[in-house]
Chain A
Amino acid sequence: MSLYTFFGCLFTAYGPLLSIFFLYIARDAQLVLLMVCRYAEIQDLLYNRIAVFNVDIFFLRSAFFWLIAMLLSSVIWFAAKPIQNMNTVTILYSVIIQELFRWGLFKLINRAERGLMIVSKNPKSLFNRSVFAFVSGYGFGLTSALISYISTLVQSIGPGVMMCPSCPQATLFFISAITTSLASLQHILWMMLAFEAYHTLPSTIGIIQGIWVIISHLGVSYATLMNSMESLYLGCVYAMIVQLVVLAISTSLVISNLKKHYGEAMFSRNSQ
C-alpha cells in the first residue's frame, strides 16, 4: 500500500530528470551508436557528434565535481563539531563550495572545449556552449537529487511515514520529493546562467547573472529550512513559493540569453 507513496515520490522527485534523460540525453547517446553504424549519415549528424560526445563527458564530470564539493562540505561538517547542528552555517559553506566547484568545472570545460573545437567541423557554434552548460547542470542536478533524496525515497517503501513538521498534513517524503524536483531544475538553470556569466565577465550583465546564481542558490537553500520549522504553519508552502519564484526568474534569464544567441546561432549555421 505504501508503494503508492513510493512511486508518487519517485515520479515527483525524479520526473523532470527522468524525462530529460530519456527524451534528450539517452536519445542522443543512441545517435552516437547509430552514427558509428551508418556511415552515410555522418555528414548530416556531425554537428550532433561533438555535442553528444561532450554531453557524456561533461555530464559525468559535473556529477563528479558536485560529489567532490559535497565531500569537502562533509569533511568540514565532520571536523567542525561545535557547528554541526547549525544548519544555517552548514548551508553557507556548502553553497560557497558548490559555487567554487562550478567555477572550476567551467574552467575545465572551457579548456577542453577549445581542444574539442579544433576537431569539430563546426567550431563556432555558440549553441554548443549552451548544451555543455545544460548537460553539466543536469549532472549537478541529478547527483544532488540522488544523493539528497534517494535514502529518504527508500524509506518511503516501509509502512511508516514522517509528517512534515511545518505542513502536518503532508508527509516529509512527499514534500522532500517536491523540493528535490525543483532543486534539480534549479541546478540546470544555475549552471546555464553561471556559464553564461563566466563567459561574459567582466561585463555588467555577466556580474549580475553571476551574483544572481549565488544569491538565489543561498536563498533557495535557506528557504528549505522552513520545511522543518514546526512553529511556521505552512512553511513548506512558503519554501515552495520561493523556489518557484527563483525558478521563474532564472528561466526568463536563460530564455533571454538564448534569444540573444539565437540570431548568431542561426547565422553561423546559415553561413555553412
Chain B
Amino acid sequence: MCRSNLQSMEATKHLGGVIVVVNSSTPGYPSRPQSYSPESTCPNCEYGLYASDSEQYVWNPNGNGMIYESFDYPIFALNPIDSGSTTAYNQVMKDVQYNSQQNYQNYPLRAVDFSLFMWSAVNSETCLRRGWCQPVGGSSVYSTASQNMTSTDGKPIIVVSATMDSRSIFHDLTLGVENDVSGMVALLAVADALSKSPTPLDTFPKHIIYTNFDGESWGFAGSQRFVDDISTPFVCQNTTTGQNFCPLQGACNNPCVRDTDFTKINFDNIEAVVEFSSVAQSNASGAGFWAHTDDATTSNNLLLSLINTSSQNNTQQQYHIQAASSDGVNRKLPPSSAMSFLKKKRSIASVVIADYQKSLDSYYHSDFDDTIDLASASSAICNVASSTARTLWLAAQGISNGTAPPTVIADCNLVNSLLTCLTYNYSCPLIQQYYTVNNAARVSHYSSVFSFGGNSLLSLFVFNFLGDKNGVTRLNGTSPATCQSIKDCQSNEYCIRRSCVKTFTRYHDAYGTGLEFDHTTGLYTVIDASQPTWSESTWDPTVMRVYTTTSVQHQVVELVIGILWLLSSIGVVWYLRKYLRKTLKVA
C-alpha cells in the first residue's frame, strides 16, 4: 500500500474501499518490500528536542508519511494471524480468485461492503469537546529499587528508559518487534540484571529509575507528561464542592491523579538518561550498537563507560557499543524519550542505544515490523542489556574505573522468554507466574486510548515485572506473606506473584501534554495546540461483508417475470370469476 497506488485507484472514481493484505499465506503473492515505513521522514520531530532547529536530521528517509493522512474511504487489513482472521483471509482470497476466474464480468460475482463509521469531527479540540474522541495514551510505568527516595535526599538520579508502545497503520495489528519491543525487553533485562547486584541498589549513592513510557509514538506523550509532572511543583486542589468527574478514588481529584508519589522524584537531581531504542539487530549488517548523544561533552563519561564495558563484556564485535558520531557526523539524538528530559534541562547526560547509526529501522512504525529471529534477537538484546547494566552499576556508584561483579549480567533465557511473551504469546509461562492469562497470544502494541485508572496488558506486565525485581517481599516469619489480590496485603503493598510486596513502582498517566482533563465536565480540553493533542475517534462497530451479487440486468429480468406472473394471475382470476358468474351465476 503506497500513496501512488491509492491515488491511481481514487482517480477512477470507483474506489469504494480497500482491503490490504498485510501478510499473505498464498504462494506467489508479492513479497514484502525491503523497507517500508508509513511514518514521516522525521517521526515526532515536531515535538522533539530539535523542533525549533532550522534543519533537523532526517532519521527516516524511507518514510512515506501515510500514517498521518486521512482517507475518506474504508481500509481493512487482512492478516491471517489467528483462526478468526485466517477464516476471513481465506474467504476473501477464495472470492478474489473466483472473481478473477469470472473475468470480473460474468455474473454472479462476489461483492464486498464495508461499514466503518468514524465519529471524529474537525480536530481534536472540537472532537474531544463533543465527546466523539478520546485522547490517545495509556499508562507508563516507572520503578526504582530506592524505596525510600525523597525529593530532598539530594542523591543524583539515573533514568533508564524505553518505549512501551508502537504504532502502525492498523492499530490492532501493531506489534513493533524492533520498535519498540526490543528496547522494552532490554530495559526489563537490565532491571533483572541489576537486581542481582551483591550490593543492595538502595545503598548506592545514586538512584536508578526505570521508566517505560506509553504513548511515546504519539508525540512522546508518556515521557513529556512524566517530565512535566515531576519538574513542576504539584499542587493538589482537592475539590469537595460541585461536580467532580475524576473517576479515581486516589490521592487527588483536581488535578486527577492516582497517587502523588511521583513528587518524590526530584527532576533537578536527574543526572543522566540512558535509553534503549531498537536493539534487536533484526536488520543489522553486523555493525553493532550505536550510542547516540545530544552533546558529546555532557554525555562523554557515560558514553565512554558504555563503550568500555561493552568491549570488555563481549568478545563478539557485533555486540560492541560504538559512538554514533564516530564517523565524525553528530546527528544528535534520534526520536526518543530522552528528548523530553533534555527539553527541560539540556545539561542532563543522555545516551540512546540503538542498532542503527544513520537512519531508523527500515520497517519503522510499520505493520511489517512483526517478524523476529528469536535466537539472534535474544542474543543481541541480552548482550546490550548486560553491557548497559554493568555500566549503570558502576555509574550509580560513581566508580569511573572498575568492573561490575559477575552476577550483574543479563539473563539470556529471560530475554528470550520476554521476547516471546511480548510478541506472540502473552499467555506464556513467564507471565503466568505473575497472573493468570487465558487465550491471549499476540496483543496489540498500540497504546490505545487513555482512561483514568486503565492499564493495558503491556503496562500490567511491566508493572508486575519491575515491581517484582525492585520489590521487597514481606515475610510472615520465614515464609513470604501470600495473597490472592491486593486486598490481602497491607496498604502500601502490592500483590505480585501471589506475595505481598513493598515496592516503589507506579503507573503514570500518559496522554498528550497539549491536553488537560477538565474535572468539572469530564472532558479533555486542548490547552496547548503546539504540544501533542492526539486523540482517537470513537466508531460504530466495524463490519466487512462478502457476498454474491447478480447483475442489474438479472435483477430486472426477475422483476419483469414477477410483474408478468402477477398480471397473468390477475387476468386468469378475473376471467374465471366472470366466467363463473356468467355460466354458473355464482361466485
Q: Which of A80-88, A158-166, A212-220 contacts the other chain?
A: A158-166
Q: CB within 8 A of B566: which of A19, A168, A266? A: A19
Chain A residues whose CB sits within 8 angstroms of the CB of B572 once the complex forms: 19
Task: Evaluate contact between A8 and B574: CB separation under 8 angstroms.
Answer: no
Task: Evaluate contact between A12 and B565: CB separation under 8 angstroms.
Answer: yes
Chain A residues whose CB sits within 8 angstroms of the CB of B552 once the complex forms: 1, 4
Is there a chain B Cβ closer than 8 Å to A177's Cβ? Answer: yes
- Chain B proximity of A191: nearest CB distance (Å): 17
Is there a chain B Cβ closer than 8 Å to A104's Cβ? Answer: no
- Chain A proximity of B125: nearest CB distance (Å): 38
Task: Evaluate contact between B555 and A5: CB separation under 8 angstroms.
Answer: yes
A12–B561 alpha-carbon span in the complex (Å): 7
Centre residue among B108, B552, B558, B565 by max chain A CB count within 10 A: B558
Q: Which of B141-149, B226-234, B541-549 contacts the other chain?
A: B541-549
Chain B residues whose CB sits within 8 angstroms of the CB of A131 once the complex forms: 587
- Chain B proximity of A161: nearest CB distance (Å): 5
Task: Evaluate contact between B562 and A8: CB separation under 8 angstroms.
Answer: yes
Chain B residues whose CB sits within 8 angstroms of the CB of A239 once the complex forms: none
B-side interface size class = 20 to 34
Is there a chain A Cβ closer than 8 Å to B268's Cβ? Answer: no
- Chain B proximity of A85: nearest CB distance (Å): 23
Is there a chain A Cβ closer than 8 Å to B585's Cβ? Answer: yes
A160–B545 alpha-carbon span in the complex (Å): 9
Known contacts: A15-B569, A23-B574, A160-B547. The answer to whether A177 contacts B584 by CB under 8 A is no
- Chain A proximity of B445: nearest CB distance (Å): 36
Chain A residues whose CB sits within 8 angstroms of the CB of B566 once the complex forms: 11-12, 15, 18-19
Q: CB within 8 A of A19: which of B559, B573, B584? A: B573
Is there a chain A Cβ closer than 8 Å to B399's Cβ? Answer: no
Known contacts: A23-B573, A262-B584. The answer to whether A10 contacts B548 by CB under 8 A is no
Is there a chain A Cβ closer than 8 Å to B437's Cβ? Answer: no
Q: CB within 8 A of B548: which of A4, A15, A163? A: A163
Is there a chain A Cβ closer than 8 Å to B376's Cβ? Answer: no
A212–B570 alpha-carbon span in the complex (Å): 28
Chain B residues whose CB sits within 8 angstroms of the CB of A18 once the complex forms: 566, 569
Task: Evaluate contact between B577 and A24: CB separation under 8 angstroms.
Answer: yes
Centre residue among B113, B556, B573 by max chain A CB count within 10 A: B573
Q: CB within 8 A of A159: which of B113, B556, B561? A: B113
Q: Which residue of chain B is the closest to A12 with respect to CB atoms? A: B562
Task: Evaluate contact between A15 and B565: CB separation under 8 angstroms.
Answer: yes
Task: Evaluate contact between A159 and B558: CB separation under 8 angstroms.
Answer: no
A116–B131 alpha-carbon span in the complex (Å): 70
Is there a chain A Cβ closer than 8 Å to B563's Cβ? Answer: yes
A154–B572 alpha-carbon span in the complex (Å): 28
Interface string of A206-237 (1 = CB under 8 A from B): 00000000000000000000000000000000
Is there a chain A Cβ closer than 8 Å to B375's Cβ? Answer: no
Known contacts: A159-B547, A161-B549, A177-B562. The answer to whether A19 contacts B570 by CB under 8 A is yes
Task: Evaluate contact between B562 and A171: CB separation under 8 angstroms.
Answer: no
Chain B residues whose CB sits within 8 angstroms of the CB of A11 once the complex forms: 559, 562-563, 565-566
Q: CB within 8 A of A266: which of B111, B113, B557, B584? A: B584
Is there a chain B Cβ closer than 8 Å to A106's Cβ? Answer: no
Is there a chain A Cβ closer than 8 Å to B11's Cβ? Answer: no
Is there a chain B Cβ closer than 8 Å to A77's Cβ? Answer: no
- Chain A proximity of B102: nearest CB distance (Å): 11
A-side interface size class = 35 or more
Interface string of A22-40 (1 = CB under 8 A from B): 0110000000000000000
Is there a chain B Cβ closer than 8 Å to A74's Cβ? Answer: no
A265–B585 alpha-carbon span in the complex (Å): 10
A160–B555 alpha-carbon span in the complex (Å): 12
Task: Evaluate contact between B569 and A159: CB separation under 8 angstroms.
Answer: no
Chain A residues whose CB sits within 8 angstroms of the CB of B108 once the complex forms: 161, 163, 168, 171
Is there a chain B Cβ closer than 8 Å to A127's Cβ? Answer: yes
Is there a chain B Cβ closer than 8 Å to A174's Cβ? Answer: yes
Chain A residues whose CB sits within 8 angstroms of the CB of B560 once the complex forms: 8
- Chain A proximity of B366: nearest CB distance (Å): 34
Task: Evaluate contact between A127 and B584: CB separation under 8 angstroms.
Answer: yes
A24–B561 alpha-carbon span in the complex (Å): 23
- In residues 162-202 of chain A, which contact B (Cβ within 8 Å)? 162-163, 168, 171, 174, 177, 181
A269–B585 alpha-carbon span in the complex (Å): 9
A177–B558 alpha-carbon span in the complex (Å): 10
Is there a chain B Cβ closer than 8 Å to A78's Cβ? Answer: no
- Chain A proximity of B487: nearest CB distance (Å): 48
Known contacts: A15-B569, A131-B587, A159-B111. The answer to whether A8 contacts B555 by CB under 8 A is yes
Is there a chain A Cβ closer than 8 Å to B126's Cβ? Answer: no
Is there a chain B Cβ closer than 8 Å to A109's Cβ? Answer: no
- In residues 514-568 of chain B, which contact A (Cβ within 8 Å)? 545, 547-550, 552, 554-563, 565-566, 568
- Chain B proximity of A100: nearest CB distance (Å): 30
Q: CB within 8 A of A127: which of B573, B577, B586? A: B586
A19–B572 alpha-carbon span in the complex (Å): 9
Chain B residues whose CB sits within 8 angstroms of the CB of A266 once the complex forms: 584
Q: CB within 8 A of A16: which of B545, B548, B569, B584? A: B569
A265–B586 alpha-carbon span in the complex (Å): 9
Task: Evaluate contact between A160 and B559: CB separation under 8 angstroms.
Answer: no
Is there a chain B Cβ closer than 8 Å to A9's Cβ? Answer: yes
A23–B570 alpha-carbon span in the complex (Å): 8
Task: Evaluate contact between B545 and A4: CB separation under 8 angstroms.
Answer: no
Q: CB within 8 A of B584: which of A8, A163, A265? A: A265
A20–B555 alpha-carbon span in the complex (Å): 26
Known contacts: A161-B547, A161-B549. The answer to whether A20 contacts B562 by CB under 8 A is no
Q: List 30 A-B contacts (CB under 8 A).
A: A5-B550, A5-B559, A7-B562, A8-B563, A11-B565, A12-B561, A12-B562, A12-B565, A12-B566, A15-B562, A16-B569, A18-B566, A19-B569, A20-B569, A20-B573, A23-B570, A24-B573, A47-B586, A127-B584, A158-B547, A159-B111, A159-B549, A160-B548, A160-B549, A161-B108, A162-B548, A171-B550, A171-B554, A174-B558, A181-B565
- Given A7-B563, A24-B577, A174-B561, 17 more contacts at CB 8 Å? A4-B556, A5-B550, A7-B562, A11-B559, A12-B562, A15-B568, A18-B569, A20-B569, A23-B570, A23-B573, A23-B574, A159-B113, A160-B548, A177-B562, A265-B586, A266-B584, A269-B586
* Chain B residues with a Cβ under 8 A of chain A: 108, 111, 113, 545, 547-550, 552, 554-563, 565-566, 568-570, 572-574, 577, 584-587
6 tightest A-B contacts by CB? Answer: A160-B547, A11-B562, A8-B558, A15-B566, A4-B555, A8-B562
